[in-house]
Amino acid sequence: MTAVICAIALGSNLGDSPRILEAAIAQLDATPGISVKQTSRWYQTAPIGPPQPDYLNGCALVQVQLTPHQLLERLLEIENQFGRIRRERWGPRTLDLDLLFYEDAIVTTPNLAVPHPRMRERAFVLVPLAEIAPDWVDPVSGEAIGQLLQRIDISGVQTLYN
């Protein structure tokens, strides 16, 4: 299988979030068929949904030799390794890994939508993604990440550290 570049969003607001996010990156990179190429800084972001602590969010570019569904399966496995429990939509979590892009593919199946359907409205995704891939063109809108970022409110996103 030919290697493709993918974009993944990472988030955490329960437990030792910086350690969890760094360990998740290491787990991704240690997975056969996945190579982490670049990561953004971590950003503290206001939560969406029920009352809960602020999140730490970031993005990573990975080179994979997996299908989109195989990659999704691995992301879910890593979430589970870090104690992810799905109680309520947009609720707090130890780890959230979302597949944003799989090169320029558009995938719509019952358990996977790529590009991620809500990423264009989410500053906590677009800010870190624009840091590492500002020119990546969203195949649905036809616009680059940097262009999408200009249209949303980013006031709830603060750089945590470099």
Q: Which pLDDT value is given to residue 86? A: 61
Amino acid identity of residue 156, one-letter, is G
Over pLDDT 90: what percentage of the chain? Answer: 81
At 83, list the tokens: 């104690």
Residues 6+ apart with CB under 8 A from 138: 101, 115, 120, 144, 145, 148
Mean pLDDT of the chain: 92
Active site residue ranges: 84, 93, 96, 98
On the question of pLDDT at 83 being above 90, the answer is no
Convert the pLDDT of each residue in 144-154 to its tens digit.
999 999 999 99
User: Global pTM?
Assistant: 0.93
Higher pLDDT, 143 or 84: 143
